[in-house]
Amino acid sequence: MAATTLFNLSALLYATFFVSYIINLSVVEASNGGGGFTVDLIHRDSRLSPFYNPSDTRFDRLRKAFTRSTLRAVHFSPTSKSEDTIQSQIIATSGEYLMNLSMGTPPVNMIGIADTGSDLLWTQCQPCSDCFQQDAPMFNPKDSSTYQPLTCDSQPCEALDTHTCNSDVCQYKMSYGDQSYSNGDLAVETFIFGSTSGHPVSVPKVVFGCGRENQGTFNESTSGIIGLGGGPLSIVNQLGDNIKGLFSYCLVPLNAASSVTSEINFGTNAIVSGSGVVSTPLVSKTPQTYYHLTLEGVTVGNSTLPYKSSSESKAGADEGNIIIDSGTTLTYLPQDFYSDLASALAAAIQATAQDSVAPFGLCYATQGDGFDAPTVTFHFAGADVDLPASSTFIEVSDGVVCLAIVPADSVAIFGNLSQMNLLVGYDLVNKKVSFKPTDCTKV
């Protein structure tokens, strides 16, 4: 959902926000040992997902994922921003992973798109003057004893660049690059995470959007968005010191995603440590929703290729030149840099070249015994991340594999295919992202 919620907050506003609306995680600490918990992260094409269509072949699902990825990458471009609304510059249904939550007292189930490219958590609410069709029961704040709307002078409301007021209730507005939108009341409510430990994690006073007008390309199988971005209203930053700014995920390969769920960890459960861990700095940029890293180059076999920015027609790695995003399937690199990488791979691979299959530029016919390609090492600042062939090439049709790295029209993105079988940890306090090679099917 790649929301470009532009929060131009001073350090004082940050401090005031977190002092005023700090979340009490006593239930988390009592049941899960100091604020750590783990939640299933369900791929949208998994048999466990409400999006699952048994009539689709695995190649049908891949083609749809590639389409969503292309749309998402296009709308990451800063040129698509609007000045009068909070922008989520991405197709509204392009999220790749889902989370099950409950909200309110008594609790109502919510299936939300988990997204590292957006901040505000929102869901549809009754009464709704203009809502999209939703399979699950819609949340009615009048039925919850813990719902509380936020006033226009509250710090969370002032954290929004653009908001309006209705009888002193803060109104949020969110629009998307495909003209979808969500408008409604900003409020606080108790949310319950279904922890994999079997102990539900109750989190009171979470700031969220109670959507009264929501239309566009949203799907009836979900009821809203769960923002995991870097802005102050994301669930990660709202949890704050209670999870020590830590979250991580381990994404299972697509060939296992239909039967094995990925996981997302918070707090002490999210610590990435042990042999093989490498870390790279998070770079602060606008919008702060996105997680920017610095890619210095790649290595294919014995060939090391320095980063090259096509937009500036020069070699060299500017800080924060690539976004890491769990909601984008493919990895996108600047055209000139991509061309260097594709040429190096073509020289190293001993296989029969195949005509390109859109949106891919480098494809091969496979043999019965599989496909052999060299490891590609991504050199982030301070962290070398090895990607085996299973993370760089994907079978797009019977007997044809293609490089799952493509040229970027605008913004470089390290997508989720490249992140599979890596434990990826975010430390928002120490401003770093860590990687550890991991068999995510056995976590």
Mean pLDDT of the residues in the chain? 82
How many whole angstroms separate alpha carbon 341 and alpha carbon 333?
9
- Judge whether residue 18 has pLDDT over 60: no
Three-point CA angle 389, 361, 304, nearest 5°: 55
Eight-state DSSP code of residue 441: G
pLDDT at 176 over 70: no
Instruction: Give percent of the chain with pLDDT exceeding 90.
Output: 44
CA atoms of 259 and 14, how far apart (whole Å): 41
Q: Which residues carry out catalysis? A: 115, 325
**Cβ 392 vs Cβ 346: under 8 Å:** no
CA-closest candidate to residue 194, choices 267, 111, 137, 123: 111
Q: Print the domain residue range for 346.
A: 272-442
* Residue 259 and residue 302 in one domain: no
> pLDDT tens digits for 326-338?
888 899 999 999 9
The type of residue at 173 is K
Chosen domain end from 265, 287, 319: 265
CA 281 to chain centroid, in Å, comes to: 18
Cβ burial, residue 12 (10 Å; 0-12/13-18/19+): exposed
Of 219, 242, 265, the one marking the end of a domain is: 265
Task: For residues 297 and 150, state if they share a domain.
Answer: no
Please list the alpha-helical segments (H only) found in 33-85: 58-75
User: In terms of C-beta density within 10 A (0-12 exposed, 13-18 middle, 19 or more buried), how is residue 192 classed?
Assistant: buried
Lowest mean pLDDT among 74-78, 206-210, 431-435: 74-78
Residue pair 192/269 in contact (Cβ under 8 Å)? The answer is no
What is the model's pTM? 0.85
- Segment 207-232 shows an average pLDDT of 82
Residue located via tokens 């226009």: 152
Those residues whose C-beta lies under 8 Å from the C-beta of residue 87, and which sit 6 or more positions away, are 3, 4, 5, 80, 81, 174, 175, 176, 177
pLDDT at 422 over 50: yes
114 and 227 fall within a common domain: yes
C-beta atoms surrounding 144 within 10 Å: 18
pLDDT tens string 372-421: 899 999 999 999 999 999 999 998 988 899 999 999 878 899 999 999 99
The pLDDT of residue 310 is above 70: no
236 and 286 in a common domain: no
The first and second tokens of residue 208, run together, are: 């969220």
Same domain, 346 and 224: no
Domain match, 283 and 366 both: yes
Exposure b/e, 158-189, CB count within 10 A at least 16 = b: bbbbbbeeeeebbbbbbbbbbebbbbbbbbbb
Same domain, 98 and 81: yes
pLDDT at residue 315, rounded to an integer: 56
Place of tokens 């009490």: 24
pLDDT of 75 reads 57
Identify the domain boundary among 218, 246, 265: 265
pLDDT per position as a tens digit, 353-382 = 888 888 899 999 887 666 889 999 999 999
Does one domain contain both 227 and 318?
Answer: no
- Say whether both 355 and 239 belong to one domain: no
Neighbouring C-beta atoms of residue 143, cutoff 10 Å:
12
The whole-angstrom separation of Cα 15 and Cα 167 is 27
Residues 107, 155 within the same domain: yes
Are 209 and 296 found together in one domain?
Answer: no
The predicted pLDDT at position 303 comes to 93
User: How many domains would you assign to the chain?
Assistant: 2
User: Which one, of 392, 443, 398, 384, lies nearest residue 416 by Cα?
Assistant: 392
Residues 71 and 162 in one domain: yes
DSSP E strands: which ranges in 37-152?
37-43, 86-88, 97-103, 108-115, 122-124, 148-149
CATH code, 113:
2.40.70.10
> Which amino acid appears at position 232 of this protein?
P
- Please name every residue paired with 206 in a beta bridge, in sequence order, or none if there are none: 189
